[in-house]
Amino acid sequence: MKQFKDAEQKPSSRIFNENLTESIKSISNQEIKGSKTMIYDRKPDWLRVTMSSSGNYAELKRGLRQLGLKTICEEARCPNIYECWTGGTATILLMGDKCTRACRFCAVSTGNPHGVLDTGEPERVAAQVASSGLTYIVITSVDRDDLPDGGSAHIARTVKSIKKLNSGILVEVLIPDFGGSRDSLDRIIESGADVLAHNVETVRRLTYSVRDRRANYDQSLDVLRYLKEASGRITKTSLMLGLGECRDEVIDTLHDIREVGTDAITLGQYLRPSGWHIPVTEYVAPEVFKQYGSAASEMGFRMVASGPLVRSSYRAGELFMEGILRSAPEAERGASNDFREYVSAKVER
């Protein structure tokens, strides 16, 4: 899809809708070749989640509703929502609940927002975050290919607004690829975000079958490389397992991600949101996640979270990242040990 540098170059609705329609058609008719899909989607015991509606969970949910804010926790039906919200952590979803891309794994709705953008959202998000008492917040967004800059200015404004109200809050941004636009990536870097994340999602072979056709394995690696080289800050990505990948492909992907300087990696089990989405090929055992986690640690990643219920914005990862960012060497070592024990406990529960 053509990159648009200036606001005057906004694509027409006709061209956008053609791209979106083709994207949906192409992924709807695809199968992952060379793999067997599961006939029954009965989840193993290790994927059972304890539901809890504690005071913290209810309070955070109420605060988000009052300000009209959305979270990726809800939109993507994250299995850790009760745990994270009870602990006071949520990942804020910017720019609406309609994504212009149609990835086969994602529960977020696909559509064309026609350039509509809530211009007051950055300040509302900042106000909620500043009053929440949180010390670490994750900001993410839907893809907005209908906007000239992909929404990068909106995300950057949100981060700046948070920092303006409370410079002590650490902000992680999980961003789209913006079609590889350096201008958009520079806006994110200049916002002052402390952790820069972009998800590779899956191995090279499965990328076209799993992600929207405008997503690209090498482009995602290039985004991570540029974020690291241009900012020097901590960069982060995530992989889903259980889509038909083999062990060698996972190891190769970890090598590719580390080679572009990425500091943090999370690996988790893909869970099918609905019958329309791509089927689960395998429920990867906790022991296998441990093996991948060990391999990633040996490659030099500063933070590794690997377990069936781990997600890119998992609370344990945030606690570890905060330990690094607070810059105390002894705190960093302690956070690292605590983190590994915490993730191990979650995997084995």
Task: State how far the alpha carbon of 312 is from the alpha carbons of 54, 163, 167, in Å.
Answer: 23, 22, 24
pTM, two decimal places: 0.77
Which residues, in sequence order, are CB contacts of 304 under 8 Å at separation 6+? 264, 265, 266, 267, 293, 296, 297
CA dihedral 61, 65, 70, 71 (to 10 degrees): 0
Q: Exposed (0-12), middle (13-18) or buried (19+): which is 322, by Cβ within 10 Å?
A: middle
Nearest to 224 by CA among 257, 249, 264: 257
Question: CA torsion sign, 157 to 161 to 162 to 163?
Answer: positive
Three-state SS string over 113-180 comes to: CCCCCCCCHHHHHHHHHHHHCCCEEEEEECCCCCCCCCCHHHHHHHHHHHHHHCCCCEEEEECCCHHH
Say if residues 39 and 33 touch (Cβ distance below 8 Å): no
Degrees, nearest 5: CA angle 271-302-162: 75
3-state SS class at 345: helix
Say if residues 212 and 102 touch (Cβ distance below 8 Å): yes
CA distance 282 to 243: 7
- The tens-digit pLDDT sequence of the chain (349 residues) is 444 444 444 444 444 455 544 544 444 444 444 444 444 467 888 777 665 555 566 666 666 666 556 665 555 556 556 556 555 566 788 999 899 999 998 888 899 999 999 999 999 999 988 887 777 889 999 999 999 999 999 999 999 999 999 998 889 999 999 999 999 999 999 999 999 999 999 999 999 999 999 999 999 999 999 999 999 999 999 999 999 999 999 999 999 999 999 999 999 999 888 888 899 999 999 999 999 999 999 999 999 999 998 877 665 456 567 777 765 444 343 344 444 444 444 444 4
Residue 282 CB neighbour total at 10 angstroms = 17
